[in-house]
């Protein structure tokens, strides 16, 4: 009689975490940052149909990297939870903190109780009356929650983009300044740009962008069209588009 193969719980958790991190790293990057009038979301995304950035509720936005079908399930669940709470009680009772807690419980349960963890990382953000009231929460594949400030980077070459933003971000940026800083950080470094295998520079047509604008009256989420991105960045719409990578990681 053969003995069953034993794997320690520590090794199982480590293998799951490594698997999820590799899947997330394959996705194209997303930047979420505060600016003067709200919160800006910018993502590398050549698809006009599969969104990585979405509205959850009146003042709450959602951004994600990783497996599209997995983070789309989370987005839909978040919209339903927010709608139910707002309808049952009051729209003011729908907060990004309660949403982040719900996502943390869901992701934590999936990570510990299923054989395959979700290959996702998400940010949920709520714009306040002033920049000091803005809230951003980053949730990882295992349900960990981090209260973020100033800016957040997910997916792709996170370390390089993080360093670039640390050098350029400052409080009270205008929308144009914040968008330009985000795009510059997402673009490949000069040494990679000369390589034949490196992706082409990012332009308006390969970007997905949206804002939570505190100046709007009620629904504060607004997508930035390609024409609007061209106007803000002062670049041709199709001057920097590049081909989509394989797989379904976003």
Q: Which two tokens stand for residue 170?
A: 């400052």
Q: Which pLDDT belongs to residue 237? A: 63
Residue 151 has pLDDT above 90, yes or no: yes
The Cα 6–Cα 241 span in angstroms is 49
Q: Which pLDDT belongs to residue 193? A: 41
Average pLDDT over residues 117-129: 96
Average pLDDT over residues 72-90: 95
The Cα 215–Cα 37 span in angstroms is 7
Read off the pTM: 0.87
What is the pLDDT confidence band of residue 7, given thresholds at 50, 70 and 90?
confident
Average pLDDT over residues 185-198: 56
The Cα 250–Cα 182 span in angstroms is 18
Average pLDDT over residues 208-213: 96
What's the pLDDT tens digit per position in 154-186? 998 899 999 999 999 999 999 999 999 999 999
- Percent of the chain at pLDDT exceeding 90: 72
The Cα 8–Cα 81 span in angstroms is 36
For the chain, what are the domain ranges? Answer: 9-233
Residue 129 has pLDDT above 70, yes or no: yes
Q: Which pLDDT belongs to residue 240? A: 44
Q: Which pLDDT belongs to residue 195? A: 43
Mean pLDDT lowest among 95-99, 116-120, 216-220: 216-220
What is the pLDDT confidence band of residue 4, given thresholds at 50, 70 and 90?
low
The Cα 156–Cα 45 span in angstroms is 12
Average pLDDT over residues 42-47: 90
The architecture of the domain spanning 9-233 is 4-Layer Sandwich (3.60)
The gap between the terminal CA atoms of the chain, to the nearest Å, is 46
Pairing of strands 30-35, 60-66: unpaired
Residue 135 has pLDDT above 90, yes or no: yes
CA dihedral 73, 77, 79, 81 (to 10 degrees): -170
């Amino acid at each position: 009689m053969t003995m069953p193969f034993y794997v320690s719980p520590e090794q199982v958790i480590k293998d799951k975490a490594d698997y999820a991190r590799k899947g997330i790293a394959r996705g194209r990057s997303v930047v979420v940052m505060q600016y003067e009038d709200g919160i800006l979301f910018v993502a590398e995304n050549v698809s006009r149909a599969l969104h990585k950035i979405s509205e959850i509720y009146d003042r709450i936005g959602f951004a994600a990297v990783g497996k599209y079908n997995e983070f789309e399930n989370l987005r839909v669940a978040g919209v339903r939870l927010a709608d139910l709470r707002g309808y049952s009680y009051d729209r003011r009772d729908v907060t990004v903190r309660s949403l982040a807690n719900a996502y943390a419980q869901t992701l934590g349960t999936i990570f510990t109780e299923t054989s395959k963890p979700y290959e996702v990382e998400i940010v949920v953000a709520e714009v306040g009356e002033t920049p000091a009231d803005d809230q951003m929460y980053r949730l990882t594949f295992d349900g960990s929650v981090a209260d973020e400030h100033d800016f957040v980077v997910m997916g792709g070459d996170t370390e390089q983009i993080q360093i670039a933003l640390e050098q350029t971000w400052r409080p009270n940026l205008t929308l144009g300044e914040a968008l330009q800083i985000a795009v510059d950080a997402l673009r490949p470094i000069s040494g990679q740009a000369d390589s034949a295998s490196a992706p082409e520079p990012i332009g308006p047509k390969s970007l997905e962008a949206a804002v939570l604008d505190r100046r709007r009256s009620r629904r504060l989420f607004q997508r930035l069209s390609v024409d609007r991105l061209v106007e803000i960045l002062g670049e041709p719409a199709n001057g920097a588009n590049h081909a989509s990578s394989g797989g379904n990681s976003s």
